A = this chain, B = another copy of it.
Amino acid sequence: MDFELDRGIAVTPAGPGAFDVVLDPGWVVGGGVNGGYALALLGNAVRAELAEFGTPDPISLSAYFLSPTRPGPGRVQVRRLRTGGRRSTVSVSLVQEQDGNPVERITALATYGDLDSPAADVQRQIPPPELPPVEDCVEARFDSAEARRAAPLLDRFGTRLDPAYSGWAVGKPSGAGVIQGWFRLADERPLDPIALLLVVDALPPASFDLGLPGWAPTLQLTAHVRGRPAPGWARVRHATRNVSAGQFEEDCEVWDSTGRLVAQSRQLALLPRPSSPKVA
């Protein structure tokens, strides 16, 4: 099968620990490349770099966003910090050329392992949220051609939002600071541990539900992959509980179609600035 995400995160070896990549314009939102897509791309390069070690799966990845990632070519550099045991740890960064100079976009640390060893026996977990059936949820797409050009990635996501927390789309946020819904990739590529790095940053920011529309730049995101997802619709929940000094944290949990928690993440993001008044 040939899926959009696999084309978008393909890596080409380019020397020790180095991989050439192309950030696909199809994963842009509002001029920048979606952070989750960029993390899946970094994650795929790390997976390639560690191929010989029997540690194929991201267990933990912590990314710091240094400058906005742009569509187009880039170079991923992976540096091995510890290999040879049950887990491998690396540093990884994405660099793009800008005005003739290399500029670091994202830098991250990651630990990889094998999610099948030990098998993911679940002793306790946060239960998945009760959601209306997929067909009763809200499809996150734009109808206008202009909006679709600004956020082409929405055509790649099969997000269905819980209507209880979708009122912000019509100016009526719930105020709870929650966004939740069903998620799959539009072309039904099965979710795997690398794709989960995308899923944790695929829904609209929880700040929308606080009545704060606009771009909420991520300063830092740490994802933990806790299990290999079963096929089918995943459930995703974003929530923020601490908003202060122009920043908020966004916690994300992802459950697979069997209801097992397979990923969790926390990001620290900047609150959107109030829109400037428009000059007619």
| Selected contact of A242 from candidates B109, B244, B264, CB within 8 Å | B264
A241–B62 CB distance below 8 A? no
A242–B121 CB distance below 8 A? no
B219–A222 CB distance below 8 A? no
B123–A244 CB distance below 8 A? yes
Q: Give the residues from 98 to 124 in chain A that come closer than 8 angstroms, CB to CB, to chain B.
A: 104, 107-109, 111, 115, 118-124
| Selected contact of A244 from candidates B104, B122, B244, CB within 8 Å | B122
* Residue A76 CB within 8 A of the other chain: no
* Residue A174 CB within 8 A of the other chain: no
| Selected contact of A120 from candidates B62, B226, B244, B264, CB within 8 Å | B244
- In the assembled complex, the Cα of A109 lies from the Cα of B66 at a distance in Å of 12
The residue among A82, A222, A240, A244 with the most chain B CB atoms within 10 A of its own CB is: A244
* Residue A147 CB within 8 A of the other chain: no
Q: Which residue of B lies closest to A125 (CB)?
A: B242
* Residue A257 CB within 8 A of the other chain: no
Q: With both chains docked as a complex, state the minimum distance between the C-beta of A159 and any C-beta of chain B, in angstroms.
A: 23
| Selected contact of A125 from candidates B109, B119, B224, B241, CB within 8 Å | B241
| Chain B residues near A268 (CB-CB < 8 A) | 59-60, 224
Chain B interface: which of A12-20, A36-44, A190-198, A245-253? A245-253
20 A-B residue contacts at CB 8 Å? A60-B219, A60-B268, A62-B62, A62-B64, A66-B82, A67-B82, A81-B107, A87-B219, A118-B245, A118-B246, A120-B245, A122-B243, A122-B244, A123-B244, A124-B177, A124-B243, A124-B244, A125-B241, A222-B222, A224-B249
